[in-house]
Amino acid sequence: MKMIGIILNGMMEKVPANTTIADLIRTMDEKDSGLIVELNNRFVFPQKYPEAVLSEGDKVEFINPDFGG
């Protein structure tokens, strides 16, 4: 299986080629329903997660907003 290198939340990670954002969320066991995802400094709409395929060197940020007051 071919692996690619991405930067996830500032850390280098290896993931299988053709990994989508949806796959990455599952792999990282991210369960925050309010999760915000940025890909290369751009917001990704949740409905695009299954089709947003990661490439070598992509920068992904998982942002967990702290709602409340």
Q: Could you tell me the pTM of the whole model?
A: 0.90
C-alpha distances in Å from residue 34, one per residue of 30, 42, 58, 62? 10, 17, 22, 10
Q: Where residue 29 falls among pLDDT bands split at 50, 70, 90? A: very high
Q: Helices (DSSP H) in 1-69: which residue ranges?
A: 21-27
pLDDT of residue 65: 85
Nearest C-alpha neighbor of 59 from the set 16, 3, 21, 22: 21
pLDDT of residue 49: 98
